[in-house]
Amino acid sequence: MTIAVGDKLPDVKLVKVTEGGPEQVQSSDYFAGKKVALFAVPGAFTPTCSARHLPGYVEKADELKSKGVDEIVATSVNDAFVMGAWNKASGSDDITMLADGNADFAEALGLSADFSGFGMGKRSQRFSMIVEDGVVRELNVEAPGDFSVSSAEHLLGQL
């Protein structure tokens, strides 16, 4: 079943990219007590994700924060080292990278996808959400191949 507006995020382990190396976090603890703009991509360094998705959130970070967002989080079914390299190459300190290396988070959300046809295996669908104190307040899931409702611009319009 796919997560819906009003649902609490599932409680799974993610790996936060930090200067000191990967740090395991529990999603229930991590999202507690704050307002988060969360976006997910099928893969770091993939064309749309690197050319449009991450750069949009980097560009709109100040605007998102001015609308009450405490943190901007990106997640993908990649390991923490790939997520860290992607943020160094294309991101900013305004974006927190949470690696979902085994797709546990994507699956628990009901938002995993099979990219085996592209040699990428199990991945996350492209989506964005506003999460307040661990509860989904807005949810935007892209149709396969699309990029519009998960953009920073769309999320800004929902705040």
| 97 in a structural domain | yes
CATH code for the domain in which residue 120 is found: 3.40.30.10
Domain containing residue 103: 13-158
Q: What is the pTM of this model?
A: 0.92
| 57 in a structural domain | yes
Q: How many domains does the chain have?
A: 1
- The pLDDT value given to residue 98: 96
- The pLDDT value given to residue 3: 95
| 4 in a structural domain | no
Contact 72, 57 (CB under 8 A): yes
- Tokens (6 digits) for 40: 């997910």
- The mean per-residue pLDDT over the stretch 145-154 comes to 87
Rounded-to-integer distance, Cα 121 and Cα 117, Å: 8
Pick 76 or 145 by higher pLDDT: 76
- The pLDDT value given to residue 146: 78
Query: What's the CA angle centered on 144, arms 135 and 111, to 5 degrees?
Result: 30
Indicate if the pLDDT at residue 6 is higher than 90: yes
| 7 in a structural domain | no
Catalytic residue among 49, 72, 99, 149: 49
| 128 in a structural domain | yes
H/E element, 85? helix 80-90
| 3 in a structural domain | no
For 26-54, the pLDDT digits (tens) are 999 999 999 999 999 988 876 565 556 68
Indicate if the pLDDT at residue 64 is higher than 80: yes
Residue 49 falls in the annotated catalytic set: yes
| 127 in a structural domain | yes
| 93 in a structural domain | yes
Indicate if the pLDDT at residue 117 is higher than 90: no
Rounded-to-integer distance, Cα 113 and Cα 103, Å: 9
Indicate if the pLDDT at residue 89 is higher than 80: yes
- The pLDDT value given to residue 122: 78
